[in-house]
Amino acid sequence: MAGRTRRAQRRREALLGYLLVAPALVVFAVFVFYPFAKNFQLAFYQDPLFNLPGKRYVGFDQISDVLSSEDFRHSLWTTIAFALLSVPAGILLGLALAVAAHQKLRGIGIYRTIFASTVASSVAVAAVIFGTLFNPVIGWLPWLGIEPQPPFLQNPDWALPAVALVTIWQSIGLSFIVMSAGLQAIPEEVLEAAELDGARPWRRFWRVTVPLLSPTIFFAVVVGSIFAFQAFAQVEMLTKGGPIDRTNVLTYNIFVTLRESQDEGRAAVLSIALFLVTLLLTLFQMRILEKRVHYAS
């Protein structure tokens, strides 16, 4: 009798659990899972946008054509270069600011608020601010008396680093908050023991702080890489993929393919390629970098 009562109670609890998660599952099914599955279907068809009666099944030919094209390879390498420029710099600056703000100084709370403030601004706002700073006439170099300022966003060699700089500034706030949380989780007695053993500040940082902070750094690398591969708004607002496609990252290439060519099949293949590249990069990071992560027991 008691066993039957417990089973009935477990069924009621399970039913309540399903009812609670049902709204979230419906939202995910409509706005995530269905578009994701539809995208795979579109990759096998060629048709002008909104011309469904004329769509033609082409199988893997379209996927092969897109992935072997020079346009895709250029966008992929541009995206990788953009991630290499923006992710390490954003993490290192966030870590440096977190270490500085971790000191017990008077008024340090004000600096922490300033350092974390970039997380509250949108990418569009950051793009407008840096678009003004990069302006050859009213930019930041004329303020320093250096004129004329080079047209960074119009220069093929400087456009991608300039867009990456916007992303670095935008990511510093999140990186700072994550690193600060990691630093506060390190036990003070461990650092004090290292200090009593005669370890100097720089040695304590590399031998004690960085290993104990490695899970946080690993998290920041994975999340920062995913964000970098999804960067779009700053490219659209600052360079529109130019000059001469030097900032034409994969996300912007998908947008242009769908907007200008109205080729949703090709855009679907590009978006699947972006998804697979991001997935492989994340798995690679979790397999290689996680071996160097120290998890305290």
3-state DSSP call for residue 45?
strand
Q: Which residue has the tokens 């994340």?
A: 282
Cα 14 to chain centroid distance, Å, stands at 36
Quick one: CA dihedral 165, 170, 171, 172, positive or negative? positive
pLDDT per residue of the chain (297 residues) written in tens, 0 to 9:
666 778 888 888 999 999 999 999 999 999 989 988 888 888 888 765 555 566 777 778 888 998 999 999 999 999 999 999 999 999 999 999 998 888 877 777 787 788 778 887 888 888 888 888 888 877 777 777 767 777 888 888 899 999 999 999 988 888 999 999 888 888 888 888 888 888 888 888 888 888 888 889 989 999 999 999 989 988 999 998 878 889 999 999 999 988 887 888 889 999 999 999 999 988 988 888 777 776 665
Token representation of residue 186: 């390190």
Token representation of residue 26: 């419906």
pLDDT of residue 51: 54
Q: Which residues contact 207 (CB under 8 A, 6 or more apart)?
A: 194, 199
CA distances from 57 to 60, 262, 267 (A): 9, 17, 15
**Adjacent-strand bridge partners of 57:** 45
pLDDT of residue 297: 56
Q: CB of 283 within 8 A of CB of 231?
A: no
pLDDT of residue 52: 56
Q: Which helix (H) or strand (E) holds 50?
A: none
